[in-house]
Amino acid sequence: MDAVSTIAVKKKLVIGWFSFTCSEDSTILLTELLNEHLDDWKKVVEFRFFKALKSKNSLEDLDVAFIEGAISSEKQAEEVRKIRANSKYIVAIGSCACTGLPSASRNQLIPDKINEKIKFYMSHFDYSDKVRKLSDVIKVDDMVDGCPMNVPNFLATVKKYLDLFQIQ
């Protein structure tokens, strides 16, 4: 047996980070958390999809997908269904993903009070009639609420999945 075959490859938690209709404050917060946690996380986490950090991303075989934002178009709904199909677990991140709000506040607009500018955006940018929280479109396994996300809850959720996949 040669030396290369005796080296054990350490399993990492394969995650994706996705952002839809929101302020992306949780994405910004996560990039700030990397200042403190990157050295530890790069030993146990593989960021397979994270457009804010990487240009080459893949949806294949994700252990956990963290999804920030509400779903405001059928195109976005199709994208999250594809993410769900390629992920073992889905975690809704932030208020928009968890509750739909504040992004879904436009659902309360009274049709006869919608001005021409709003009508233009609705017709030209392929928005759905209603903004939906993530669980209205796909099965969600966990949630980290807050705007931005609650950091202690997010860190506990990362630890939960590291433990679940027996990664140390």
pLDDT tens, position by position, 31-70 = 999 999 999 999 999 999 999 999 999 999 999 999 999 9
DSSP, res 111 = G
* Residue at 5 is within a domain: no
- Whether 2 maps to a domain, the answer reads no
Q: Is residue 81 part of a domain?
A: yes
Show the tokens assigned to 161.
């999945």
Which residues span the domain enclosing 72? Answer: 10-164
Tell me the pLDDT band of 120, cut-offs 50, 70 and 90. confident
Query: What is the overall mean pLDDT for the chain?
Result: 89
Give alpha helix (H) positions in 45-164.
74-85, 94-99, 116-124, 151-164
Q: Could you tell me if residue 1 is inside a domain?
A: no
Q: Are 77 and 135 in contact (CB under 8 A)?
A: no
Position 3 in a domain: no
Phi, psi (5° rounding) for residue 150? -75, 115
Q: Which CATH number does the domain housing residue 86 bear?
A: 3.40.50.700
What is residue 107's predicted lDDT score, i.e. its pLDDT? Answer: 65
Number of structural domains (the chain) is 1
